[in-house]
């Protein structure tokens, strides 16, 4: 039957081996190819084969699974990496006007702000966020992360060198302030370039939120025009992980072409003058222009799509990863504490009522009934609420009382890492390991800190130590002090970091 006007022509893959490559790309990177995209996708696959000098599709598929430059070239061929500076100015203005002022410190100045550009391509987006934070005076306290699946794009981003096409529409005053021009090449100022950490990350892979990948507790996530490449089940799974990665008061911004999350995952949909944004269900309310409505998936939706594979705390610290074991976390209850107070602290912490945990824990400390577990609960509860300054103070005070606490030294290191004090964070992790060599969390924290200081070899050694501890226990055993995290997932994350460590910026 001839094709009628406006009808989408169904296109099949020309060979079974091409279909096999497409299936592998879906399982590995979440990429999907509906019938109307198969023709262009196959042309892209064959272009990459031609550049690599590979004639056999079977050989091409086998070599793809080894990763490296061939896979990177294919990903770049099949996805659009087009972006430019100060894109979506209405969103940036909304972030500056209403999101950033809502996360102040105790004295009204900026507190550490965590921002993630997911699918950052060649880096224009996270650098735009760095410029925004510099203009608001918050850059020195910000943690800006840019991630992408393409190694080549990440390497371009790290160089911070662009041509005029990436700066189209940018005011001349901004260019003069933040770029140095050499002919037709514009190089970012060191202040902006060094403010962004670039890392390899596959959004379709279950490696976030996690301290081991540095992606957790984000105040702002920009994930523009990435979900368009995924099918509905993958969109739901990625969207749920993105929402889990937000802090309790965080904001998720998608691109105009991305599918709506309403009815797909539990979230609050915020109608703003800058378009739609998403937040965790029941997120802390702020004053902003627009309306909020709660969205829930239909009751018939598959549970494996609308719920995350693991429940993680929404703490800027993430779960306190420690030595694996089949035993659950030891209760906060300690002989000698008032029974009602022990029950209040434990019940509030398990319920995520961190404000009440902090209140009761401080009362116990004031009457001299504090213990190491109570101090740990206080530090975590403050960090969970984004009160990092107070968490640092309480952690320091707790270490004066319990200087031999490996977990407190670990927490100190995680807090130092949030302030970009990576050398100090490494020292704290090493202290924790001196006290408890089997503390898996400290190996992971040490690896992250060492990677940020540029010592990739030592970081890999720390990750292998964590790997060795994790393979020694059953995969589904709950890892101590992680609020129910499994050894299987932590092992997956450790191995992911080993693969991607080369692309973590010091």
| pLDDT tens-place values along the chain, 506 residues long | 344 444 444 567 878 888 888 888 888 878 888 777 788 888 888 888 888 888 888 888 888 887 777 887 888 788 776 688 888 888 888 888 888 877 655 555 556 789 999 999 899 999 999 999 998 888 888 889 999 988 888 889 999 999 999 999 889 999 999 999 998 899 999 999 999 999 888 898 888 888 777 788 899 999 998 898 888 899 999 999 999 999 888 999 998 888 889 888 999 988 887 778 999 987 655 444 444 555 556 554 433 333 333 222 333 333 333 333 334 444 444 444 455 676 677 777 777 788 888 888 888 888 887 788 888 888 888 887 777 788 899 999 999 999 999 999 999 998 888 777 889 999 999 999 999 999 888 898 899 889 888 888 999 999 999 999 999 988 888 777 666 678 888 888 888 888 777 655 43
In whole angstroms, give the CA distance from residue 469 to residue 133: 40
Tell me the torsion sign for CA atoms 445, 458, 420, 83.
negative
Cα within 13 Å of Cα(181), Cβ side: 10
Q: Which two tokens stand for residue 463?
A: 């990750």
Amino acid 231: pLDDT = 87
Amino acid 342: pLDDT = 62
Amino acid 202: pLDDT = 87
In whole angstroms, give the CA distance from residue 15 to residue 391: 58
| 218-223 and 291-295 beta bridge pairing | unpaired
Residues sharing a CB contact under 8 Å with residue 238, sequence separation 6 or more, in sequence order: 30, 203, 204, 227, 230
Reference 489, options 208, 167, 143; nearest CA is 208
Q: What Å distances lie between residue 222 and 75, 207, 387, CA to CA?
A: 20, 18, 23
Amino acid 223: pLDDT = 94
| 185-188 and 179-182 beta bridge pairing | antiparallel
Q: Which residue in this structure is represented by tokens 């002022």? A: 101
In whole angstroms, give the CA distance from residue 280 to residue 102: 16
Amino acid 365: pLDDT = 85
Q: Which two tokens stand for residue 60?
A: 């091409």
In whole angstroms, give the CA distance from residue 213 to residue 23: 26
Q: What pTM was computed for the model?
A: 0.73
In whole angstroms, give the CA distance from residue 130 to residue 345: 39
Cite the residue boundaries of each domain of the chain with CATH code 1.25.40.10.
Answer: 339-503
According to DSSP, the residues that pair with 251 across neighbouring strands are: 220
In whole angstroms, give the CA distance from residue 221 to residue 252: 5
Question: What fold characterizes domain 16-78?
Answer: Chemotaxis Receptor Methyltransferase Cher; domain 1 (1.10.155)
Q: Which two tokens stand for residue 431?
A: 């202290």
In whole angstroms, give the CA distance from residue 77 to residue 95: 32
| 196-200 and 142-148 beta bridge pairing | parallel
For residues 34 and 207, is the Cβ–Cβ distance under 8 A? no
Amino acid 292: pLDDT = 52
Cite the residue boundaries of each domain of the chain with CATH code 3.40.50.150.
Answer: 89-306
Q: Which two tokens stand for residue 213?
A: 């990948």
Q: Which two tokens stand for residue 262?
A: 């309403």
According to DSSP, the residues that pair with 142 across neighbouring strands are: 113
Tell me the torsion sign for CA atoms 145, 150, 154, 157.
negative
206 DSSP 8-state letter: S
CATH superfamily of 339-503: Tetratricopeptide repeat domain (1.25.40.10)
Amino acid 26: pLDDT = 84
In which element (H, E) is residue 186 found? strand 185-188
Amino acid 162: pLDDT = 94
The distance from CA 299 to its chain's CA centroid, rounded to whole angstroms, is: 29
Helix (H, G, I), strand (E, B) or coil at 320: coil
The CA radius of gyration of the chain, in Å to the nearest whole number, is: 24
CATH superfamily of 89-306: Vaccinia Virus protein VP39 (3.40.50.150)
């Amino acid at each position: 039957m001839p094709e009628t006007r406006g009808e989408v022509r169904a296109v099949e893959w020309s060979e079974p081996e091409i279909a096999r490559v497409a299936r592998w790309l879906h399982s590995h990177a979440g990429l999907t190819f509906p019938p109307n995209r198969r023709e262009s996708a196959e042309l892209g696959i064959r272009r990459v084969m031609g550049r690599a000098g590979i004639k056999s599709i079977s050989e091409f598929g086998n070599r793809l699974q080894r990763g490296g430059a061939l896979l990177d070239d294919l990903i770049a061929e099949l996805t659009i990496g087009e972006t430019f500076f100060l894109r979506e100015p209405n969103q940036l203005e909304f972030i500056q006007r209403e999101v950033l002022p809502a996360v102040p410190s105790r004295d009204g100045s900026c507190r550490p702000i965590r921002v993630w550009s997911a699918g950052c391509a060649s880096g224009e987006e996270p650098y735009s966020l760095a410029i925004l934070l510099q203009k608001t005076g918050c850059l020195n306290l910000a943690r800006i992360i840019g991630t992408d699946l393409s190694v080549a794009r990440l390497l371009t981003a790290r160089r911070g060198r662009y041509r005029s096409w990436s700066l189209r529409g940018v005011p001349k005053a901004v260019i003069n302030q933040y770029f140095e021009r050499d002919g037709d090449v514009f190089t970012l100022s060191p202040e902006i370039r060094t403010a962004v950490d670039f890392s390899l990350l596959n959004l379709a892979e279950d490696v976030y939120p996690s301290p081991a990948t540095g992606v957790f507790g984000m105040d702002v996530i920009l994930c523009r025009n990435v979900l368009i490449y995924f099918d509905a089940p993958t969109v739901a799974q990625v969207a749920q992980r993105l929402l889990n990665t937000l802090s309790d008061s965080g904001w998720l911004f998608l691109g105009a072409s991305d599918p709506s999350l309403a009815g797909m995952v539990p979230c609050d949909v915020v109608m703003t003058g800058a378009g739609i944004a998403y937040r965790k269900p029941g997120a802390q309310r702020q004053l902003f222009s627009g309306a909020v409505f709660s969205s829930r998936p239909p009751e018939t939706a598959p549970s494996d799509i609308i719920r995350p594979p693991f429940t993680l705390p929404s703490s800027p610290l993430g779960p306190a990863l420690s030595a694996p074991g089949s035993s659950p976390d030891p209760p906060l209850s300690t002989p000698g504490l008032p029974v009602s107070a022990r029950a209040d602290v434990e019940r509030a912490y398990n319920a995520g009522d961190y404000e009440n945990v902090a209140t009761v824990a401080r009362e116990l400390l004031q009457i001299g009934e504090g213990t190491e577990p109570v101090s740990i609960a206080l530090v975590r509860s403050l960090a969970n609420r984004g009160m990092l300054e107070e968490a640092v103070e309480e952690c320091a005070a707790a270490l004066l009382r319990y200087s031999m606490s490996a977990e407190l030294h670990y927490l100190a290191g995680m807090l130092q890492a949030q302030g970009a004090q990576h050398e100090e964070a490494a020292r704290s992790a090493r202290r924790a390991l001196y006290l408890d060599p089997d503390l898996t969390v400290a190996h992971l924290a040490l690896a992250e800190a060492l990677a940020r200081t540029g010592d990739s070899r030592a970081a890999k050694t720390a990750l292998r130590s964590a790997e060795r501890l994790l393979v020694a226990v059953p995969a589904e055993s709950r890892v101590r002090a992680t609020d129910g995290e499994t050894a299987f997932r932590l092992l997956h994350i450790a191995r992911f970091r080993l693969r991607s460590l080369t692309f973590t910026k010091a």
